A and B are shown apart, each in its own frame.
Chain A
Amino acid sequence: MRRRLLLGALAAHGLPFSPARAAPLLRVGSKNFTEQLVVAELFAQALERAGATVQRRVNLGGTAIAQQALLAGEIDLYPEYTGTGLGVVLRQPPQGDAAEVLAKVRAGYAPLGLDWLDPSGIDNGNALLVLPETARRHGLATLSDLARAAPQLTLAAGNEFADRADGLPGLRRVYGMEFRRFRQFAALGLRYAALNHGQADVVNAYATDWQIATYGFTTLRDDRRLWPPYQLAAVVRQQALRDFPGLAPPLLAIGARLDNAVMQELNRQVDQDGDEPREVAARFLKRQGLA
């Protein structure tokens, strides 16, 4: 009886998931790094707010596992990056501007029974960073500028950067960039330390790393489009969209409030302050008037 009253009260509020029967069960997935965990929590809490029962199946160990889980119907949605979907899942050359890459992943995923919702404002692609002082001294704003100064500079990057097609070979091919020295740093945190301590002039990073905002590094613009866009969007099973027509709007509302600067700050709250993704997500939704 009490349950029915509760459901009646929810229905009266006009929640998108009509609770005429039981609340729909949605399984939200994520891969295993901070940004994924935060965005998955944002999605999960917004869907709960919209009347769904949400099961969190987060921390999946990579794109392959998340994709298999979607295909097997073990999760209904997870946040993915358009460039990753195109390159890693569809195995197509990750090239093109944001609209082209989105159109390609939508076309490639549709036959698998999967939809890409409209992307958020996050584009978590590759980035080369320098200290503002280095940028001033050498007049650096773009990677083309960097190519001119590179023979005097040291680059610190991850192990794979020396060989990846979109790493050093790509920089050489598209920009003719040759650094004075290349130093390998496996852990991203070490690369930032190297930059701060002058052991490297340039480091590779990802555009939503919290350190960029906190330490005020300068991101150089990829003016000749070596790197594809990595727009963050929810990938959702079409079956789930059919079963629960109220599914997309809360996810799109969150995506519309996310951009790289916002995400850097949310990532920082987890990685630097040590807050849990669920706490960070709850605070953000509340501040945005979504909770």
Chain B
Amino acid sequence: MRWTSRNLDTIGAALLTHAELVAAALALALLIALPLGLLVARRPGLRTALLGSASILYSLPTLALFALLVPVLGLGFAPALLALVTYAVPVLLRALLAGLASVPPAVVDAAEGMGLTHRQRLFRVELPLALPALLGGLRVASVTLVSAATVAAYISAGGLGTLILSGLDQGHTEKILVGAGLVTLLALLIDGTLGALQRRLPASG
């Protein structure tokens, strides 16, 4: 553990950057996916088109995406964030739309019968019922992002990927273990927190 004890500041900085990247990407992805999802939920044509283009975005190879983004966004945090957002938005969109689709038509009818407006129905009935599915999507997206954020190292954006990738290149097992171990811990931590939140939701019980 000689390397670890001598490089605690480097490791701490990598962990912090990694967590920041994931948190920022999740927040931004939610801000994009929520309104988009609500917009297309009742428009099947738009919905298909949006999910299709989201899937294409999701399947773009990250390195290729980076080479394309560097002339526009430069190196560092911004292009890494954008790449991660393109990973998270499709997951969140699918989860939200699946959640909204799972609301029983009878419940929607009842809400309509009670005289709720479109907006009231959405916020008081449909979204709360879709929330467990959305949270599930958030869990999947966050765990995906924690591991995907390792590629940020390719564009000098820091994070735990820097340790893993240089460890692989140098055959430096300790570096790889520290980097990969912290990625796993971070993923478990976020997943556990969101899981606890999900279990405490009244709608899920």
Residues of A within 8 A of B (CB): 29, 32-34, 37, 57-62, 64-65, 68-69, 71-72, 74-75, 189, 270-271, 274, 276
A65 touches B70 (CB 8 A): yes
A57 and B67 contact, Cβ closer than 8 Å, known pairs A34-B169, A72-B74, A274-B172: no
B75 touches A271 (CB 8 A): no
A59 touches B75 (CB 8 A): no
Hey, which chain A residues are within 8 Å of B170, CB to CB? 34, 270-271, 274
* Majority SS at the chain A contact face: mixed
* Majority SS at the chain B contact face: helix
Q: CA–CA, A65 to B69, complex, Å?
A: 9
7 closest A-B pairs (Cβ-Cβ)?
Answer: A61-B154, A68-B70, A57-B156, A74-B74, A74-B75, A64-B67, A271-B170
Q: CA–CA, A166 to B37, complex, Å?
A: 51
Number of interface residues, chain B, beta carbon within 8 A = 24
B171 at the A interface (CB under 8 A): yes
B66 touches A61 (CB 8 A): yes
The 8 Å CB contact of B166, one of A32, A68, A72, is A32
A72 touches B153 (CB 8 A): no
Give residues 73-103 of B contacting A (CB, 8 Å).
74-76
The 8 Å CB contact of A75, one of B3, B63, B75, B169, is B75
Q: List 28 A-B contacts (CB under 8 A).
A: A29-B156, A34-B170, A58-B156, A59-B153, A59-B162, A59-B165, A60-B154, A60-B156, A61-B63, A61-B151, A61-B154, A62-B63, A62-B154, A65-B67, A65-B154, A65-B155, A68-B71, A69-B74, A69-B75, A72-B70, A72-B74, A74-B74, A75-B75, A189-B171, A271-B172, A274-B2, A274-B3, A274-B172
A74 touches B70 (CB 8 A): yes
B191 at the A interface (CB under 8 A): no
